[in-house]
Structures are given as structure tokens and as C-alpha cells.
A and B are shown apart, each in its own frame.
Chain A
Amino acid sequence: MKDRAIAILRSLIFVSFSLILCAVVFQFAGYNAPQMLTAVVDGAFLRPGAVEQSLRWALPLFITAVGVGISFRAGFFNIGAQGQFYVGAIAAAFAAEALRGGPAFIVIPLIFLAGMTGGALWALWPGLLKLRSGTDEVITTLMGNFLAGLLLVYVTSGPLKDPSGSGQQASSRPLDAAYRISNSLGLSPTIIGIAIVVGILMWLLVNRTSFGVLASLAGRNGTMVRWQGAKLWQLGLSSFVISGALAGLAGTIEFMGPNGRIASGFLPTHGFTAILIALVANLSVVGTAAAAIFFGGLASAALYLPIMAGLPAAAIDIINAAIALFITARSNLVEKFLRLGRRSS
């Protein structure tokens, strides 16, 4: 319990520290920092409609981040959430194209299935390479992100190209209104329901099943788990597939909900933000929900900052980057400060 409290305190300190650091930098860059901070809070939660807007960003991020957390727990540094998110959305778009005209109650589940399968497959090959040949997953999943980005460019300017598109940004044909799961504001009971179901299932998986316990143990000490007779291979591959499927699910939601189509290079920082959320949450599912709401709020504030504080939306990217820079710090200094005098080994 005390450890958990320390972990939460630690994340809070790092996030606030990054925010203050950014505020100081912005002040020196000639912006009004207090005005910026109030604009962030306003844009994220206080302004009318802000909570809905923040949730719109938070829910898909939550789903991807929970998946990232699962693979990190199992000891696999899968940084390919962005690629899995893209391939999920691409697979969903292909399914929607193929099933055009069918009854919604059949087509919608099939599109979801396709999206999750796409994301899972895009995580499967780095998983297989890792577990069969020891190929480092950091590199394969990072390369997978770029490959998926190129694949997205290819399908949106090739097979799925919208002929009536403006040419500014290649995009797919819009999804039939009958299959959309939300309007373009991006919040609907369906999406909230999916996020809640995912949250509960993953919480149960992590905390109440032998898989979750073994995977967490394997992440800390693989050899020990192998000696206890668990199949490390299956554990590892499952965690890759689950994290990929969840990123694919988030991609499908973005496609069927707020966006209604896929476009080349859409939501380019989704995966990175999801990794940050998982790390800020210290990989706990409940913490991921809280962190997702915070980062969803930042994403929503990004659209509001230029109007309110005269700051470019890049300011939010800088805040995210600053959090990334510091969030994994685990220096003795930090630990000592957090434990308030208690000796740490």
C-alpha cells in the first residue's frame, strides 16, 4: 500500500515538475505562463464541453495505453503502439470497404474484429522474432511504426483512396453513416462502453488471473518463472498480441467514431502518448485510466491554447516531451526524496 502511494506521489511530482518547467520556459520565450496554465485547465476540463472533448481523446488513448502496460509488465519493451494503432485502423477500413452495404449489426462487429486482428498481427511478428530469434523488440517495433506509417500513406493514396479528396492529405472514403459509432465529436455510449469493458477485462486479467501474475513475474525475472514451469513463450506472445489488439481496437474506434475515415499521418502522436500514459500510471490499469484522462485533457487543451493563450498547439507536445524526459527517472535522489528519509537499498 505504501509502495503504491509512493508510486502515485512520484508520478504526480514528475508531471507537476514537467509542467512547471515548461511554464518557466514559456515565460522566458515571451508567453504569459500563468495564463497558459489556466488556459490548459480551462481547455481540458472547465470550458463548456471540455470534459466531453477530453474524454474523446482519453478513451482511445486509455485502450492503447492499457495494452502498452500489459506488454511492459511482461518485460517486453513494445514501443510499436503507433504502428499497431495504424494497422488496426487500416484493417478496419478494408473490412468496412469489403462489407459495404451489409446490415449494421453484422458489419460493425466484423469491422471491430478486423481492426483488432490487424493490430494483433502487427504486434505478432516482432513478438515472434523476439521469442524465436531473440531479435530486439525495441528496434522491430520502432521500425514497425515507420512501416505502418508508409502502409497508411500507400492505402490512403492507393487502394482505399477517396477520389473526391482535396489532395491536401490523402484519405480513405468516408465510412457509411450507418456504421459510425459516434459523430465527429467522438464521444458516444458505445465508445464509453467499450472503454469500460476493456478496462474491467484488463484489470481482471492483470490482477485476478494466473496469466497476469505470471506475466508480471516474467517481466521481473523470466528465469524464475521458467523454473516454476510456466511457458514463457506463450506468456510473451500473448502479451504482444493483447497489446497489439488493443492498439488496433483504438485505431478502429478512431476510424468508426470521430474520424469516420483514415487519412495519411492521422494522429501521429497517439502511440507515444499512450506509452507515456502507461509509464505515468506505473503500468497499473486504474492508474492508466486516471493518466489517460489527464493526457486526454492536454490533447483537448491543445486545440484551445492558440485561441486563449496565443500559444501554438506545439506547446502541448513540449509538455508531453518534458514528461517523457523525466518520467522514468529513478535516481537515488528521487527515491530518497520520496521515501522521506527511509533508507532505500
Chain B
Amino acid sequence: MNDVIIAILRSGTPLVYVTLAGVIAQRAGVWNLGLEGLMIIGACATILGIMLTQSYAAAIVIAIAMCVIASVLSWFVIEKLKANPIIAGLGLTGLGIGGTALAVESIFGSQATVTAPFGAPKLGAAFGAYGVLSIFVAAMPFVVFALWLLLKRSRFGLQLSASGEHPFAARGVGIQPVRMRLIALSIGGILCAIGGAELATGSLQFFAQGMTAGRGFMAFAAVIFGAAHPIGATAAALFFAIAGALGIRAQLMFGDKVPHDLLQALPYLATVFGVWLSGKLGGAKTAGSFGELKDQ
């Protein structure tokens, strides 16, 4: 049982961090399809940072800096150049995947996997069987709670939602939606950096090309499925992780006889169902016109 929970926490934690990044962007009115790109930048920067500085803390700082820079770039493109957030987000994802591959190739001269000498700090023996998990796993519930406080119980959270849903009204009471989105996307950058770091160093300690393998999009699905609520989206992300872990387990136990592809499809099917249902119930926050920001 322990090993199943450990597997779920290992695959679920990066997903939760990136999902939270999506939640905060979504609340600010930005459909963030660049999560995948930010996550892989975070993963790559962490590994390269470790090799460069030999210090895990410095590596995390580098990863956060890179992801925040990329987030600010995407903010500039959608807010100042008024590009379509969805297409620009897909572009950011492409830049992340291609750029990390190019960075690895230009530094090491090959496209091989880059292995770091050490990974994230672990919880240690005091936690028994769970001691193999990284500190980010233990921090995750606190981060979720903090984000819930920030988004649902603070003036900032209310201003953020107002900027996303009724930017004109928000501006009328002196909120600057443009600046709110910059803050939201920057916080999202930090969260994506941690998500990427956990993916690359939580239980592994290497970076491979395209290693996010669609997790950023799955996080986006969790944001939508969880109706952009921090707790709801976290639950959705963990549910997706459970489905994934069960799929792998079923495959190990029963071989190819069980359709594990079906379990892998579950997050996407659940999201379609969730969006359909919320549309039926009238509570859907749809993109309206091509996912454009509402004040453009």
C-alpha cells in the first residue's frame, strides 16, 4: 500500500504545482497553455543549475528565474502585443520543449539525457517509508492551502478574479487587470519551476528531452476539471495521478490484457465530461471568443 501512495505522490506532486500555476492564471483570465513549456524549462534549468553551481538551492533559484522570465515574456506578448493567449501559450510550450533540447545540445554536444550528481533534498528517515519523498511533496499541502487563502480569502484573490472575469468593472474600482495578470503569471512561473524541479529531481535526477510528456496539458485539464478552484483543481490533479498510477500497476500485474490506454485516457475524458457538465449547469467559464482576454 505504501508504495502505491508513494508512486501517486511522486507523479502527482509535479502535476499539482503546475496545476496551481494554471489555476492562478485562469483566475486572472488567462488560459495558460504554456504550462507544459514552463514546466520543462523548470526541469531543465534545475538540472543544469545543479551541474553549474553544485548547490540545490541555487539551482532552484535559477529555475525559478528562468520560468518567471518566460512567464513575463508570455505576459508581454498577450498583454502588450495583444496576441491570442491560446496560440501564444502553445508557442511558449514549443519554445520550452525546443529550447531545452537546444540548450542541452549546445552545452553537451549531444541530445543524450543529462544526469545531475544529486537530486532534491529528501524527507529522511524520520518519515519511515515516506522518507524517500522530496521536500516538495511535504510542502505541497501547505502550498495548496496558501494558494487557497490567497485566492479565496484575500483582497488580492478577489481583485484577481475580478480582473479575470469583469476587467472593465475591476478597472472601474481602481484595480489594474494588466498588472494583476503580470503578478499571477509570475507566481505561476515560480510554481511551474518547482513542478519542473520536482519532476526532474524529486525521485529522478536527470533531464531528458521532452520529459514532461504532456503533463503540462494534463495540468491544464485539471484546472478546467477543477473549475479553477485551488482545492478542486488539486483534487483533479491527484485524481489524474491516481488513475495513472493504477494504470501502471494494472499493466505490471496483468500485462497487456487490461486496456491501460483507457486508464490513461481517463483524465481527458473526465475533463470533457466536466466541461460539458458545467456548461449544462450554466456555471461554465467558457473562452468566449477564442480565449481572448476579456478586456481586449
Which A residues contact B (CB, under 8 angstroms)?
Answer: 26, 29-31, 75, 77, 79, 129, 133-136, 138-140, 142-144, 146-147, 150-151, 153-154, 157, 272, 275, 279, 311-312, 314-315, 317-318, 320-334
Tell me if B268 counts as interface (CB < 8 A to partner A). yes
- Distance A140 CA – B268 CA, assembled complex (angstroms): 9
Question: Which residues of chain A come closer than 8 Å to B121, judged between CB atoms?
Answer: none
- Distance A321 CA – B93 CA, assembled complex (angstroms): 8
- Distance A30 CA – B101 CA, assembled complex (angstroms): 14
The answer on a CB contact under 8 Å between B268 and A314 is no
The answer on a CB contact under 8 Å between A138 and B88 is no
Q: Given the interface contacts A321-B93, A328-B83, A331-B82, does A136 sit within 8 Å of B275 by beta carbon? A: yes
Q: Which residue of B lies closest to A134 (CB)?
A: B279
Question: Which residues of chain B come closer than 8 Å to A144, judged between CB atoms?
Answer: 272
- Distance A333 CA – B83 CA, assembled complex (angstroms): 12
Q: Which residue of B lies closest to A141 (CB)?
A: B272
Using a Cβ cutoff of 8 Å, how many contacts connect chains A and B? 145
- Distance A331 CA – B101 CA, assembled complex (angstroms): 31
Q: Given the interface contacts A142-B217, A326-B83, does A133 sit within 8 Å of B276 by beta carbon? A: yes
Which B residues contact A (CB, under 8 angstroms)?
Answer: 31, 33, 74, 77, 80-84, 86-88, 90-95, 97-99, 101-103, 105-106, 111, 209, 214, 217, 220-221, 224, 256, 259, 261, 264-265, 268-269, 271-272, 275-276, 279-280, 284, 286-287, 289-291
The answer on a CB contact under 8 Å between A147 and B94 is no
Question: Which residues of chain B come closer than 8 Å to A329, judged between CB atoms?
Answer: 77, 81-83
- Distance A138 CA – B287 CA, assembled complex (angstroms): 8
Question: Which residues of chain A come closer than 8 Å to B265, judged between CB atoms?
Answer: 146-147, 150
Secondary structure of the B side of the interface? Answer: helix
Q: Given the interface contacts A146-B268, A328-B84, A329-B82, does A138 sit within 8 Å of B99 by beta carbon? A: no
Instruction: Identify A322's interface contact among B74, B95, B101, B275, CB under 8 A.
Output: B95
- Distance A314 CA – B98 CA, assembled complex (angstroms): 5
Instruction: Identify B279's interface contact among A133, A146, A323, A326, CB under 8 A.
Output: A133
Question: Which residues of chain B come closer than 8 Å to A136, judged between CB atoms?
Answer: 275, 279, 284, 286-287
Question: Which residues of chain A come closer than 8 Å to B279, judged between CB atoms?
Answer: 129, 133-136
The answer on a CB contact under 8 Å between A321 and B95 is yes
Q: Given the interface contacts A143-B221, A272-B94, A321-B93, does A150 sit within 8 Å of B261 by beta carbon? A: yes
The answer on a CB contact under 8 Å between B86 and A79 is yes
The answer on a CB contact under 8 Å between B81 and A314 is no
Instruction: Identify A326's interface contact among B81, B99, B209, B224, CB under 8 A.
Output: B81
The answer on a CB contact under 8 Å between B99 and A147 is no
The answer on a CB contact under 8 Å between B83 and A314 is no
